[in-house]
Structure 1
Amino acid sequence: MYRKTEFSHLVEGTIVIIDLDRFSEVVEERGWSEYSPNPATGLLTRLIEMFARRWQGVIIYGFDEERGTEEVVIEIPLVEPEELLPDLEKIKQELNSIGVGITIVALKGYVLGKPAADRREAYTATPFRRRALALLRKAKRRGGNTVIIA
């Protein structure tokens, strides 16, 4: 699939993309701030921090303690997506308990393991990230608030 000289640093693992559903609508409805942690983004920030620490994941993009986390891309080397399902379901349940929907995709693929310089790189640096993003968008069009393991 890849020429060894270009991508010899790739390792198999899991790409996880997490995104709050209809975030701007929820913020407006509830009168929450977009520029500082609100109940949803603050909770997601804490949950992502614990999740990444537990699985020794590399946060590629989106983690923001100052403003709160709305979307995040994480890569976890040497872990199968199915192993993450209980923790991902728990993240979904925690956010649902405060009335916020969330869509999560965990896809098996090759991981780079280094933070992205910008949003575009975070979602397009590898074919696996692009596929994970496509799965996320498809799930959101269908209503979101789901966990997809691929």
Structure 2
Amino acid sequence: MFPPRGFFSNLFVYIIFDMTKIKQIQEIEKKRELITALRILETLFILIAIFFMTIIHREEKTLTLETVEELIIFIDIDNFKEISEAQGWVPYKPNDITGTLTQLVTDFARKHTGEIIYGLDEIRGTEECMIRLTGALSHEEIQKDLEYIMNEIQKIGLENGCEATLSIGVARGPYTPVKPTGPYQWSKRLFKGQAQRLAHKALKKAKRQGGNRIVFL
């Protein structure tokens, strides 16, 4: 018994149609896979871009300190004991260097609406001090004013026949207020605040590098 007329031709058409349909499905699947791969790559590129932008932002914030909420500045005269002995200055009395530093620090704090939280001494002269600044602060302006203080102290030292320099440590907040428990507790309790400790660390780093410099942390 033979199949009806046209059976094989119709079967051939169906086979061709199915093969074409299979190819179309395969092409659609390939396109879907390609689109999925492209979307994954796009997501990866976005994540990588966000990662590097975060790193760059952190580096800029660390290096420039363009705008910060709080700043602690620790200033200290380098080798002041040796200078005093060489000059024959009486301890705990103002001399040209400590008296000038008192005035310069006072002017600096007044200009930047800062608070001198440690060390300023108009009666005996200022050998070291710590300043707290708050609000929107310009790194360039602060550094320029600190360099001016350093240059003025150097100038006074040369006028007195000695080499007088400053080391300065600068650190960002948060500031932790610390009250002394007695007349000799300032230096011990002062560095319990986070920003104070960082400023002290920056100052020591400036000292280790030879002094006469500003270190930001």
Same fold (TM over 0.5): yes
Mark the runs of 5 or more structure 2 residues left unpaired by the alignment. Answer: 1-67, 158-163, 181-185
Among residues 202, 205, 213, which one is paired with 1:135 in the alignment? 202
Q: 1:66 to 1:115 in 2, by over 3 A?
A: farther
Per the alignment, residue 6 of structure 1 pairs with none
C-alpha distance 102-147 of structure 1, shift in aligned 2 (>3 A)? same
The equivalent position to 1:101 in structure 2, one of 165, 173, 176, is 165
- When the two chains are superposed, the root-mean-square deviation of aligned CA atoms in Å is 1.8
Q: What is the number of equivalent residue pairs in this alignment?
A: 138
Tell me what 2:211 maps to. Answer: 144
Residues 93 and 33 of structure 1, relative CA distance in 2, 3 Å threshold: same
Aligned residue among 47, 55, 58 for 2:104: 47
Shift of 1:128: 1.8
Counterpart pick for 2:142 among 79, 84, 90? 84
- Listed as ranges, the matches of 1:54-65 within 5 Å are 54-65=111-122
Gap change, CA 1:21 and 1:31, over 3 Å in 2: same
Kept after mapping to 2: 8 A contact 1:60/1:116: no
Instruction: Determine which of 23, 36, 45 is the counterpart of 2:93.
Output: 36
User: Structure 1 61/115 Cα, relative in aligned 2: closer, same or farther at 3 Å?
Assistant: farther
Partner of 1:74: 131
Q: Percent identity?
A: 40
Hey, what does 2:76 align to over in structure 1? 19
Whole-Å separation in 2 of the counterparts to 1:69 and 1:81: 26
**Alpha-carbon offset, residue 138 of structure 1:** 1.9
Conserved? CA contact 1:85–1:149, under 8 Å: no
Distance 2:126 2:138 in 1: 22
Q: CA deviation at 1:12?
A: 2.8
Counterpart position of 1:4: none
Structure with greater proportional helix content = 2
Structure whose alpha-carbon radius of gyration is higher: 2
Where 1:97 maps in the other structure, the secondary structure is: helix
Q: Which residue of 1 is the match for residue 33 of structure 2?
A: none
Cα deviation, residue 111, structure 1? 2.5
2:178 and 2:189 in contact (8 A); partners too:
no
Larger RCO (alpha carbons 8 Å, 6+ apart): 1
1:107–1:149 Cα contact (<8 Å) kept: yes
| C-alpha distance in 1 between matches for 2:146 and 2:136 | 14
